[in-house]
Amino acid sequence: MDIRFTLNDELAFATVPPTTPLARILRDHFSIGSLHQTCASGQCGQCLVLLEGAAVPSCIVPAFSVRGYAVETVEGLLSKPEFMDLEKGFLEAGLSPCPLCAGNKAILAESLIRHHPELQRQEILSALPRHWCPCSTVDTFTNAVLAAWNHRRRRARHAQTS
Ligand code: FES
Ligand code: FES
């Protein structure tokens, strides 16, 4: 089937079987290098992308369900000024994920920030993948997201007043 969606704000097309996982499409057709497919079952959180702004494991998202939707990967986030909010928040909280996890943690944080105008610790905890990596604590990640969310709020206020 033909699918058409936006990938990092640009129109994207692919011809694939309808149940092809989005992770495979992004890697094979668009050379997206940030996705690491380890469990392939939606458990490890190593293949997160934003689908309409929500973090989803792209290994279990079938091609037919992304038609007409907006997909963002960390490659797309990196090109936006808002990415600095994540960088600052992670730095302040002392969160420095390994290269394997950095993109996924950024995608998860971005999704939380976009969806919660008043972000609470509990909402972050509820969004964590089932398997959390051993090299950073849940507390550190939560602090990092809250700090990034504060930077994003300041950015929004600044944009309104300038
Ligand atoms: S590879 Fe583990 S959630 Fe996708
Ligand atoms: S930060 Fe990558 S395995 Fe923990």
For the segment 16-32, what is each residue's pLDDT rounded down to a tens digit? 999 999 999 999 999 99
Summarised one tens digit per residue, pLDDT across range 55-87 is 999 999 999 999 999 999 999 999 999 999 999
Tens of pLDDT, residue by residue over 108-153, are 999 999 999 999 999 999 998 777 788 889 999 999 999 999 999 9
pTM for this one?
0.93
Q: State whether the beta carbon of 22 lies less than 6 angstroms from ligand 1.
A: no
Q: Is the pLDDT of residue 95 over 80?
A: yes
Comparing 7-11, 103-107, 128-132, the range with the smallest average pLDDT is: 128-132
> Which of 34, 44, 100 to mutate to test ligand 1, by most ligand atoms within 8 A of the CB atom?
44
Q: What is the DSSP string of the chain?
A: -EEEEEETTEEEEEE--TT-BHHHHHHHHH---S---SSSSSSS-TTEEEETTEEEEGGG-BGGGGTT-EEE-HHHHHTSTTHHHHHHHHHHHT----HHHHHHHHHHHHHHHHH-TT--HHHHHHHS-SS--TTS-HHHHHHHHHHHHHHHHHHHHHHHH-
Q: Is 57 in the pocket of ligand 1 (CB under 6 A)?
A: yes
108 lines ligand 1 (CB under 6 A): no
Closest ligand 2 atom to 134 CA:
4
Does the Cβ of 98 fall within 6 Å of ligand 2? Answer: yes
